[in-house]
Amino acid sequence: MFEDKDQSRTPVSQLGEFGLIEHLTRKFELSQETSVKGVGDDAAVISSEKNKHIVVTTDMLVEGVHFDLSYMPLKHLGYKAVVVNLSDVYAMNAEATQITISMALSNRFTVEAVEAIYDGIQTAAKYYNIDVVGGDTSSSVSGLILSITALGNVDKDKITYRSGAGINDLLVVTGDLGAAYLGLQVLEREKKVFEVNPNAQPDLEPYSYLVERQLKPEARKDIPKLMSDLDILPTAMIDISDGLSSEVLHICKQSKVGCNLYEDKIPLDPQVISTCEEFNLDSTTIALSGGEDYELLFTIRQEDFPKLKANPHFTVIGHITEEKEGVHLVTRDDTKIPLIARGWNALTEE
Amino acid sequence: MFEDKDQSRTPVSQLGEFGLIEHLTRKFELSQETSVKGVGDDAAVISSEKNKHIVVTTDMLVEGVHFDLSYMPLKHLGYKAVVVNLSDVYAMNAEATQITISMALSNRFTVEAVEAIYDGIQTAAKYYNIDVVGGDTSSSVSGLILSITALGNVDKDKITYRSGAGINDLLVVTGDLGAAYLGLQVLEREKKVFEVNPNAQPDLEPYSYLVERQLKPEARKDIPKLMSDLDILPTAMIDISDGLSSEVLHICKQSKVGCNLYEDKIPLDPQVISTCEEFNLDSTTIALSGGEDYELLFTIRQEDFPKLKANPHFTVIGHITEEKEGVHLVTRDDTKIPLIARGWNALTEE
């Protein structure tokens, strides 16, 4: 399912490691001002800018744990691996500038398969205007492992940590939540149907948004710029990779505050609502625990509220309280339930 | 062989991913001036210095491909994973400052096993005076994968690429070559003996240097500083990870020059010579193709020769020629043999 039957199949060993890296990286041109030297030396070289800090983040995607190649096309995998990392850069209120890629793959992968992954990486690099400045490709005993490190920069006085939320700040989220997780449920259901009946034609049309959020998520590159245009400096910020509840708890723990999160404010796409009904799932649970949304969650001072209240990118979903009041979900019937992290956990959900 | 029988065994799932990262990184304190924020947010934050460039390099170590846990203790693995990356930073004539770590491990690893790896990482971080500023731990379907990204900085006018070698420059190498590869041969032989007779007590004493070079290699942190003290700016530099011949060819290709490398000048430790005799191996071949030495190979202008000629860290092993003359090994009997890359290749030696 993940390879065209008629494409040519070149074993990786035919090119060798150096040949492969050269082959894959020759298309990568440097466009960032701060990229002094990219692929091809012992290390990449980045110039630093006055009054800016550099941010660095790293993430590893492991086949069979973070992705399933039976429904994740390789090009999408490359794209998503970049997005996942950039999301962390934007969550620092920074601009993403460079990435490095480490890849290990077993001998069931051909040069064409690796090219498809790099195609996705390149597409993401272009879209997000970042440079690929380093690469390392080697064998694995089984499966595919992609490790990406992303770099970015940010004005020293604009950097936003998880730890800055203050009492009475408003809790704001971008976009909508839960779609990526439901997209995964749809794809897994279709995979099971396909295994039973390989001639079944899946109709993914009613789930198009969900599937796209799962297979081709986007990171919120627009938000740091938009915030700057709106003259808002978030007091704390985090990206939503493990589910809303987990991220709210991170901000509260690191800021030493409590929070009331309002169930009826959580932004949901109509497809999320209808698919939750179809799958007999609770949409609030999905939004809280689904994960992989790659939206941004942040806090702002109350006086900044007028600056973003009319903006369709943002939804105010709660407010910060004193630490001793705890972290709660306020349900539609006005009950307060303590929030617990049930976000997707890469280590326990084996 | 890689775990004590009597140590406690805590399954990783008991702590969960966040718990594990917290547990492992709580010991890591920041000591570098440029480390603004380490582990615990979406990204690490690094301050940049005026007139300096930042260098970034990444490397992945895969169980069964790059290491064998039956003779590589986990602590040594953590240490070596750091060293491999720092070596690339020093090869840019830079000072290493920070690393990030991504680790994927299957459920056969306990918390204690992961702690042993982090112990090794921490030991290396202390010795090389670098900060661990980011970490990411997840599951793998099989085996252990370690991906490390290292950062460093260097004065803009001191950065050394592979591409700067000029005609008549001298080719210089630090330390001695071939020992790490022979150490691996010794360990693999002992593993086979152990498999046949688990009660056999290996006597590794005659191979102590070789085994140490394989299991606990060091990167040449001292060289950039020493060069600076000697007032030498190398014209090109690379670290020796894949074998001398491969690295000489990299410098020549990227500098568009040729080279004569003298067999009788290649520095060899007495244990390398005696073990080559015992194993019936050609010591020159081992030095040229062995790999994993993590010494530095560089070129200097002829006028800088007096500055390093008495220094025991350095050996002049050749000189740069015009590109059209090619890259040759000049043997002990004065024959010129074209040099080919036979360095260890992670993709073809599956």
CB distance from A134 to chain B under 8 Å?
yes
| DSSP character at residue A169 | P
Q: How would you class A333 by CB atoms within 10 Å of its CB: exposed for 0-12, middle for 13-18, buried for 19 or more?
A: exposed
| pLDDT (0 to 100) of residue B109 | 87
Whole-Å CA distances, B177 to A38, B106, B127: 29, 35, 23
Domain boundaries for CATH 3.90.650.10 within chain A:
162-338
CB distance from A143 to chain B under 8 Å?
yes
Which of 253-272 (A) contact B at CB < 8 A?
A: 254
CB distance from B10 to chain A under 8 Å?
no
Q: Is residue A165 scored above 70 in pLDDT?
A: yes
Residue B253: its chain A contacts at CB < 8 A? Answer: none
pLDDT digits (tens, 9 = 90+) for B256-268: 999 999 999 999 9
CA distance A297 to chain B (A): 12
Homologous superfamily, domain B12-158: PurM-like, N-terminal domain (3.30.1330.10)
Residue A87: its chain B contacts at CB < 8 A? Answer: 42
More confident residue, B348 or A264: A264
Nearest to B103 by CA among B42, B14, B24: B24
Contact in structure between A250 and A162 (CB atoms under 8 Å):
yes
Contact criterion met (CB < 8 Å) for B53 and A45? yes
Contact criterion met (CB < 8 Å) for A88 and B163? no
CB distance from A149 to chain B under 8 Å?
yes
Whole-Å CA distances, B147 to B54, B176, B261, B306: 20, 27, 34, 41
What is the Cα–Cα distance from A170 to A316, expressed in whole angstroms?
A: 7
Q: Identify the architecture of domain A162-338 in CATH.
A: Alpha-Beta Complex (3.90)
| DSSP character at residue A141 | S
Backbone dihedral angles phi then psi of residue B17, each to the nearest 5 degrees? -65, -45
Contact criterion met (CB < 8 Å) for B139 and A52? no
Q: Is residue B301 scored above 90 in pLDDT?
A: yes
| pLDDT (0 to 100) of residue B343 | 43
CA distance B274 to chain A (A): 32
| pLDDT (0 to 100) of residue A245 | 94
| pLDDT (0 to 100) of residue A219 | 97
Between helix A16-25 and helix A111-127 the angle, nearest 10°, is 30
Q: Is residue B6 scored above 60 in pLDDT?
A: no
The sheet with strand B236-240 has its strands ordered as B236-240, B295-300, B170-174, B314-321, B258-262, B327-330, B336-338
| pLDDT (0 to 100) of residue A233 | 97
Q: Is residue B350 scored above 50 in pLDDT?
A: no
Whole-Å CA distances, A189 to A178, A226, B80: 17, 38, 44
Residue A161: its chain B contacts at CB < 8 A? Answer: 37, 41
pLDDT digits (tens, 9 = 90+) for B238-253: 999 989 999 999 999 9
Question: What is the DSSP code string of B43-106?
Answer: SEEEE--TTEEEEEEEEEEEBTTTB-TTTS-HHHHHHHHHHHHHHHHHTTT-EEEEEEEEEEE-
Q: Is residue A33 scored above 70 in pLDDT?
A: yes
Q: Give the Cβ contact number of residue A23 at 10 Å.
A: 17
Q: A153 forms bridges with which residues in the sheet?
A: A54, A95
| pLDDT (0 to 100) of residue A142 | 82
| pLDDT (0 to 100) of residue B203 | 81
CB distance from B58 to chain A under 8 Å?
yes
A·B CB contacts under 8 A: 243
Q: Is residue B112 scored above 90 in pLDDT?
A: no
Contact criterion met (CB < 8 Å) for B56 and A98? yes
More confident residue, B160 or A43: B160
Contact criterion met (CB < 8 Å) for B53 and A54? no
What is the Cα–Cα distance from B108 to A350, expressed in whole angstroms?
A: 12
What is the Cα–Cα distance from A133 to A123, expressed in whole angstroms?
A: 15
Q: How much is the pTM?
A: 0.90
Q: How would you class B49 by CB atoms within 10 Å of its CB: exposed for 0-12, middle for 13-18, buried for 19 or more?
A: middle
Contact in structure between A202 and A193 (CB atoms under 8 Å):
yes
| pLDDT (0 to 100) of residue A205 | 87
Contact criterion met (CB < 8 Å) for A17 and B91? no
| pLDDT (0 to 100) of residue B26 | 67
Contact in structure between B238 and B247 (CB atoms under 8 Å):
yes
Nearest to B267 by CA among B226, B234, B314, B309: B314
Hey, what amino acid is at B304?
Answer: D
CA distance B305 to chain A (A): 24
CB distance from B247 to chain A under 8 Å?
no
Q: B329 forms bridges with which residues in the sheet?
A: B261, B337
| pLDDT (0 to 100) of residue B16 | 66
Hey, what amino acid is at A332?
Answer: R
Contact criterion met (CB < 8 Å) for B348 and A91? no
Provide the pLDDT confidence category of residue B344 given band limits of 50, 70 and 90.
Answer: very low
Provide the pLDDT confidence category of residue A42 given band limits of 50, 70 and 90.
Answer: confident
CB distance from B335 to chain A under 8 Å?
no
Q: Which two tokens stand for residue A138?
A: 């080697």
Q: Mean pLDDT over all residues of chain A? A: 89
Q: Is residue A350 scored above 50 in pLDDT?
A: no
Which of 186-225 (A) contact B at CB < 8 A?
A: none
More confident residue, A13 or B79: B79
| pLDDT (0 to 100) of residue A72 | 87
Name B225's Cβ contacts closer than 8 Å, sequence gap at least 6.
Answer: none
What is the Cα–Cα distance from A240 to A260, expressed in whole angstroms?
A: 18
pLDDT digits (tens, 9 = 90+) for B56-105: 999 999 999 889 888 889 999 999 999 999 999 999 999 999 999 999 98
Residue B159: its chain A contacts at CB < 8 A? Answer: 45
User: Which of A55, A254, A347, A349 should one mutate to test binding to chain B, selecting the residue with the greatest count of B CBs within 10 A?
Assistant: A347
| pLDDT (0 to 100) of residue B27 | 66
Contact criterion met (CB < 8 Å) for A139 and B65? yes
| pLDDT (0 to 100) of residue A342 | 67
What is the Cα–Cα distance from B190 to B44, expressed in whole angstroms?
A: 43
Q: A318 forms bridges with which residues in the sheet?
A: A171, A261
Question: What is the DSSP code string of A225-265?
Answer: HHHHHTT---SEEEEESS-HHHHHHHHHHHHT-EEEEEGGG
Contact in structure between B198 and B152 (CB atoms under 8 Å):
no
Which residue bears the tokens 């606990």?
A: B216
Nearest to B45 by CA among A48, A32, A80: A48
What is the Cα–Cα distance from A18 to A28, expressed in whole angstroms?
A: 16
Q: Mean pLDDT over all residues of chain B? A: 89
| pLDDT (0 to 100) of residue B8 | 67
| pLDDT (0 to 100) of residue B347 | 44
Contact criterion met (CB < 8 Å) for B58 and A134? yes
Contact criterion met (CB < 8 Å) for A41 and B150? no
| pLDDT (0 to 100) of residue A2 | 38
Q: Which two tokens stand for residue A196?
A: 């039973």
Q: A160 forms bridges with which residues in the sheet?
A: none
Provide the pLDDT confidence category of residue A322 given band limits of 50, 70 and 90.
Answer: very high
Provide the pLDDT confidence category of residue B136 given band limits of 50, 70 and 90.
Answer: confident
| pLDDT (0 to 100) of residue B214 | 93
| DSSP character at residue A42 | S
Contact criterion met (CB < 8 Å) for A56 and B46? yes
What is the Cα–Cα distance from A159 to B44, expressed in whole angstroms?
A: 11
Which of 79-98 (A) contact B at CB < 8 A?
A: 87-89, 91-92, 94, 98
Residue A46: its chain B contacts at CB < 8 A? Answer: 53-56
Q: Which residue of B has its CA nearest to A53?
A: B47
CB distance from A245 to chain B under 8 Å?
no
CB nearest to A142's CB, from B101, B139, B141: B141
Report the CATH fold assignment for B170-338: Phosphoribosyl-aminoimidazole Synthetase; Chain A, domain 2 (3.90.650)
What is the Cα–Cα distance from B225 to B221, expressed in whole angstroms?
A: 8
Domain boundaries for CATH 3.30.1330.10 within chain B:
12-158
Domain boundaries for CATH 3.90.650.10 within chain B:
170-338
| DSSP character at residue A107 | T
Q: Is residue B209 scored above 70 in pLDDT?
A: yes
